[in-house]
Amino acid sequence: MAPGSGILGNCSMHHLKRLLLALYLLHPCSHASFYLVHESGQPRAQICSLVAYRPHGRRTLFRPLPVAMRQLFLSNTRWYIAMEIPIRYAFTMLADNNRAPIASRFRGFLPVVVDIETAGFNAKRDAILEIAAVTLDLDEQGVLSRCETFAAHVEPFPGANLDQESLDFTGIDPYHPFRMAKPEREALDSIFRPVRQMIRDTGCSRAVLVGHNAAFDLSFLNAAVTRTGIKRNPFHPFSTFDTVPLAGMAYGQTVLARAVEAAGYAWDNDKAHSAIYDTERTADLFCTIMNRWNAFMLRDATQDAPATTNEGTE
């Protein structure tokens, strides 16, 4: 049998499908094969394939099992499931060679954490004052982490409303000379340019905004794109990953500061409400939740799967 092959003793179809689904969610792969193997090691016949990728992002988990193989599997004969997957460590499937691992994790979308500091709550009327974006990376072990941070101070657009309560809350002086603020179009270009480049480099199809109360940030981003006439917005126009429900699920906390602390990170109130600081803490929170979920899925899969045995190997 090929390197990385393993035998799952007396594995039921229910257990096999649960294990496959867990593996697929953790590490989608380009191809993996499964075989029926008699206890003596002979004969063996391929019963199904796991194929992750299809043109235009479509994918299927199982190819249909032949009727004869299904009947054989359900019989009382002592057969085993052999799992032949090219792996470097347990339960890791190889990604498509033409795409980075992160392109396989989120259905071809690239998660980019964004925070926007504003002078109010009305996306069409109130000014954007700061914007920051953090790109993420997924290594071969499936661990999600921060990659690069991009940020800009933004000049209020002509005629923009500046709500004094919002300015007092963020502590931002829109016209402070040391802000080195950029016009809105230039500021957005400085964020969009590296995001587009990472989409190309990773083989992703589009960026998806990750944020704490993500709909708020996306509404201001979309309004600014419309206002400035940008034609190639790399972000999906309505889909987001929101760390508010994710943190509520994982830690029982929905306030960013408390959720970050619950995830094991320090929170500095003096740095809060800076776009860079809030974005990087949100990125840490999102990565931690995703990584904990992966660990949970792997543990659940290994607990539900039958014990591994070397019986019947060649």
**In the chain, what percentage of residues exceed pLDDT 70?**
63
Rg for the chain, CA atoms, rounded: 24
When pLDDT is cut at 50, 70 and 90, the band that residue 298 belongs to is low
Do 205 and 283 lie in one domain? The reply is yes
The pLDDT, as a whole number, for residue 104 is 85
Instruction: Tell me the three state secondary structure of residue 309.
Output: coil
- Asked whether residue 15 is domain-assigned, the answer is yes
Same domain membership, residue 184 and residue 237: yes
302: in domain: no
Amino acid 68: pLDDT: 39
Assign 158 a pLDDT band (cuts: 50, 70, 90).
very high
**Domain housing 290:** 101-295
Same domain, 83 and 205: no
Whether the per-residue pLDDT at 23 is higher than 70: the answer is no
On whether residue 260 sits in a domain, the answer given is yes
Look at the chain and count its residues. 314
The active-site residue out of 15, 38, 236, 273 is 273
Could you report the per-residue pLDDT of 48-102, keeping only the tens digit for each?
Answer: 443 333 333 333 333 333 443 444 344 433 333 343 333 222 223 333 445 688 9
User: Higher-confidence residue: 294 or 241?
Assistant: 241
The verdict on whether 273 is a catalytic residue reads yes
Domain count across the chain:
2
Q: Is the pLDDT of residue 228 over 50?
A: yes
- Per-residue HEC secondary structure of 153-210 comes to EECCCCCCECCHHHHHHHCCCCCCHHHCCECHHHHHHHHHHHHHHHHHHHCCCEEEEE
Distance CA 74, CA 12 (A): 8
- Is the pLDDT at 11 greater than 90? The verdict is no
186-to-37, 161, 228 alpha-carbon distances in Å = 62, 20, 9
Tens digit of each residue's pLDDT (9 = 90 or more) over 86-142: 322 222 333 344 568 898 889 899 999 999 999 999 999 999 999 999 999 998 888
pLDDT at 297: 72
